Amino acid sequence: MSNYQRDIQHFLTFYAQVKKNKSPGTLSAQDVNREMIQDWLVAGHAKGLAPATLARRLSSLKSLFAFALRQKYFTENPAAGIRAPKLGKRLPKTLPPQQTQQLLNHTGRKADERELALLAFLYGCGLRVSEVVGVNLSDLSLHANHQVGEVRVVGKGNKERVVPLPTLAVELVQSWIQIRPQLLPRDEALFLNKFGNRLSVRAVQRMLKSRALETGADASITPHRLRHSFATDMLAGGANLRTIQQFLGHASLSTTEHYTHVTLPQLQQTYTDTHPRAKAESRFKVKAKVKKHES
């Protein structure tokens, strides 16, 4: 039985219960109305059905009544105009900090220096994998003495931006650049494959999974997941959304908000540490305890 058939069967059962029939029967155009359909959706929500399931059920019912309307069984579609429940936005998965550290540990892998430099761009700067493989040597600006640097990247819509490189990223990139000539470069790309050509997005994806298996990190890791982890860890560390937006290269701040989430304990701790009202409340509680003890 298809989802469509099951959805219709569920509504027929609900219809029979409302009309106090012992078993589902034929729908009557006079009995089916907007309120009944809404009650059906509410009943499904009360049973814990997901918004996506309720939206599909409503879509099935709209299709049924549209057919009945064309066949002149109904004079109007009672489901028309009923809005489907809003689908909740999925929070992006992130990598726990300890697993990120595992990925960044030195290994005996043949391309360890290149992989670590790649990870410094993906997680250390939150770049898209397409932006990382698109970086050329001429896009880098490194200052060895001060251990700072920056990189020019081309993001979505061919929009360019300059991203600062943290100290660790500078160190790892410099180590990779020293080894890079051994691949006999045939391209100006910063990151090369074993043939001296620009590294592909697919190659980076395979590298991450392979490295994760070897270091004990989550094998479901992807470049995009590292980007999410960067944004979330930055937010948890106290960075504001505007700063994270600039790193990620988002045109809209609302897009950045989708990439970041903080656990409730983190939010509560941040509130306690930074909000003046929270501190005042804490002092009040302490005084209250002292007075109660004195009495």
Q: What stretches of the chain show up as alpha helix (H) in DSSP?
A: 3-18, 34-46, 51-70, 97-104, 112-122, 129-133, 167-179, 201-215, 223-236, 241-248, 253-259, 264-274, 276-294
Considering all CA atoms of the chain, what is the largest pairwise distance in Å, rounded to the nearest integer? 84
Q: Do the strands 140-143 and 160-165 form a parallel or antiparallel pair, or are they unpaired?
A: unpaired
Find where tokens 């989550």 sit: 218
Amino acid at 77: N
CA distance from start to end of the chain: 73
Residue tagged active-site, from 62, 211, 225, 227: 227
Question: Active site includes 128?
Answer: yes
Question: Active site includes 224?
Answer: yes
Residue tagged active-site, from 10, 57, 225, 259: 259
Find where tokens 């937006």 sit: 245
With beta carbons less than 8 A apart as the criterion, state whether 123 and 101 touch: no
Question: Active site includes 259?
Answer: yes
Nearest CA to 155 among 139, 171, 167? 139
Question: Active site includes 289?
Answer: no
Phi, psi torsion values for 165, nearest 5 degrees: -105, 125
Question: Active site includes 109?
Answer: no
Nearest CA to 168 among 210, 241, 106? 106
Question: Active site includes 156?
Answer: yes
In a 10 Å sphere around its CB, with 0-12 CB exposed, 13-18 middle and 19+ buried, how is residue 193 labelled? middle
Residue tagged active-site, from 114, 128, 180, 228: 128
Residue tagged active-site, from 70, 143, 156, 206: 156
Residue tagged active-site, from 56, 161, 209, 224: 224
Catalytic residues: 128, 156, 224, 227, 250, 259
